[in-house]
Structure 1
Amino acid sequence: MEIFILPSEEAIGKAIADRIEEVFTARPQANLGVATGSSPLPTYRELIARVAAGRLSFKDSHFFMLDEYVGIAEDHPERYHNVIHTEIASQVDVKPENVHGPEGNAEDLQVAVKEYDQLIKDKGGVALQILGIGSDGHIAFNEPGGSLVSRTHVDTLTKQTRVDNARFFDDDLSKVPTHCVTQGLGTIMDAEELCLVATGANKAEAVAQMVEGAISAMWPATIMQMHPNAKVFLDEAAASKLKLIDYYREMQAAESH
């Protein structure tokens, strides 16, 4: 993995947007993997500004979402289809019909998850996938203890994830859905490039495990060690438990020259 330690969320957002601009300028029909949560928001702000300035376009691209809650109302503001629409899709030039996500309200969820994996393949795959990481090391909604090679599937949310997400549901745990549909780790690993964002001290242990720990189902993000093109963007707090932090800084400095 390439590790980048940057001074602020805004600097991280700019760095990832730089990479996206590079990829999509060279390949205008490439597809972007989008994530929800607070981590990607600075990146989205950068992308919106660059599309508005004419530096970047997604008009020939497809967006693929990572996950969705099961059983959440279609008009709920925290339904991830609605979050992605609000935060990025409605503010850039991607076609509405080219924004895709796993369907948490499908009549047959087991059929729907297989169809979603196939759709990603049919549209040419994901060129660059934006990721966040949970405090327990999950990426998308792949919780600890699950398969490291899973495809898109229905899963049960852990109490920790529901507690972490309660802030989006009036701090009321009872309002947080208990199940989700998520791209599997195997599906995510199919993307050509992974760009993961982690900020804040509460992510430091998960980051240290992901980068320097053994590959383990107990820390799902550790599977990224097996990806040939994975980039990790951290602020100082999220990087604070890395044992080889000085080495990563040296590599980052060498890369910038």
Structure 2
Amino acid sequence: MRLIIMPDPHSATRLAANEIASLMTARNSPVLGLATGRTMEGVYRDLCVMHREEGLDFSTTTSFNLDEYAGLSADDRRSYHHYMNSLLFNHVNIRLSAAHLPAGDASDLDAECTAYEKLIETSGGIDLQLLGIGDTGHIGFNEPPSPFDSRTRCVALNRKTRIQNGGMFGGNPDNVPTHALTMGVGTILEARHLLLLALGKSKAAIVAKALEGAVGPEVSASAIRLHPQCTVILDAESASTLSVETRSQALYQESQD
């Protein structure tokens, strides 16, 4: 695992965007796995700037998002479809037919999950999977316990997760859907490179648990430690409760401002 600790959120998100851009320019037809949430907003903002000012080309890129809320249509403003369109897809030259998310309003959710897995496979697999980490230690919506061989499926959301995500639903966790479609941990681990980004003091405890605690299904993010090509980017606050030993193994970089 390659651990990088940056001094602040801005430099951390900029580095994550640079990692994605480097992969895109190195491959003729890159396949990206994308994530959502407040942590990723800065990453997508930086990628849009790179497209606009530096000519970063998305025209041959295929993308697969980790998850979507069950029961929400693509045009629902609370959906991850809307999130991705508003923050990234509408501002770059990606082909919308190549930008994939699970259909949360599919009539048969199990069939949708199976089809999503097949589409990832027929696209050649994911080159780089961007990840955040949730308050329960989840990657995607892989709530505890999530087996490390799990595949794309419909899952029940933990109450803690619904509280965390209540902001998009009027601040009321009871308005957050109870279920979501998510790539499984096994699906995520098949990506050729993993890139996990965490920011802020509120993430410090769960980051330490994922990176230093037991590796197992009770913290699905701990699975990244089994991956041969994994980069973790933290800001100073999200890294603040890591042990001295772990921090000593990290690569520290100066702010790029």
Query: TM-score surpassing 0.5?
Result: yes
Q: Is the 8 A contact 2:146 2:185 kept in 1?
A: no
Aligned to 2:176: 176
Task: For 1:39-78, list aligned pairs within 5 A.
Answer: 39-78=39-78
In the TM superposition, residue 245 of structure 1 has moved relative to its aligned partner by 4.1
In the TM superposition, residue 148 of structure 1 has moved relative to its aligned partner by 1.5
**1:186-233: per-residue Cα shift (whole Å, max 9, x none)?**
111111111111111221111111111111111110000000111111
CA distance in 1, matches of 2:234, 2:24: 23
Aligned to 1:159: 159
Task: For 1:127-206, list aligned pairs within 5 A.
Answer: 127-206=127-206
**1:29-67: per-residue Cα shift (whole Å, max 9, x none)?**
111111110111111111111111244211011111100
CA distance in 2, matches of 1:13, 1:239: 14
SS at match of 1:75: coil
CA distance in 2, matches of 1:191, 1:106: 25
Aligned to 2:35: 35
Q: Is the 8 A contact 2:197 2:232 kept in 1?
A: yes
SS at match of 1:104: coil
Q: Report how many residues are paired.
A: 252
Give the TM-score normalised by structure 2: 0.94
SS at match of 1:194: strand
CA distance in 2, matches of 1:72, 1:104: 5
Q: Is the 8 A contact 1:28 1:57 kept in 2?
A: no
Q: Is the 8 A contact 1:69 1:181 kept in 2?
A: yes
SS at match of 1:39: helix
SS at match of 2:4: strand
Aligned to 1:103: 103
Q: Is the 8 A contact 1:28 1:58 kept in 2?
A: no
**1:16-36: per-residue Cα shift (whole Å, max 9, x none)?**
122122211111311111111
AA in 2 matched with 1:157:
L
- Any stretches of 5+ residues in structure 1 without a counterpart? none
User: Does structure 1 residue 248 correspond to structure 2 residue 257?
Assistant: no
SS at match of 2:249: helix
AA in 1 matched with 2:94:
V
Q: 1:246 to 1:221 in 2, by over 3 A?
A: closer
AA in 2 matched with 1:247:
S
AA in 2 matched with 1:86:
S
Q: Is the 8 A contact 1:36 1:83 kept in 2?
A: yes
Aligned to 2:23: 23
AA in 2 matched with 1:26:
A
AA in 2 matched with 1:29:
S
AA in 1 matched with 2:160:
Q
AA in 2 matched with 1:225:
R
Give the TM-score normalised by structure 1: 0.94
In the TM superposition, residue 99 of structure 1 has moved relative to its aligned partner by 0.7
Aligned to 2:113: 113
CA distance in 1, matches of 2:174, 2:20: 38
In the TM superposition, residue 246 of structure 1 has moved relative to its aligned partner by 3.6
SS at match of 2:39: coil
Cα-Cα RMSD: 1.3
Aligned to 1:221: 221
CA distance in 1, matches of 2:176, 2:247: 40
SS at match of 2:68: strand
Identity %: 36
CA distance in 2, matches of 1:196, 1:88: 19
CA distance in 2, matches of 1:74, 1:53: 29
Q: Is the 8 A contact 1:12 1:42 kept in 2?
A: no
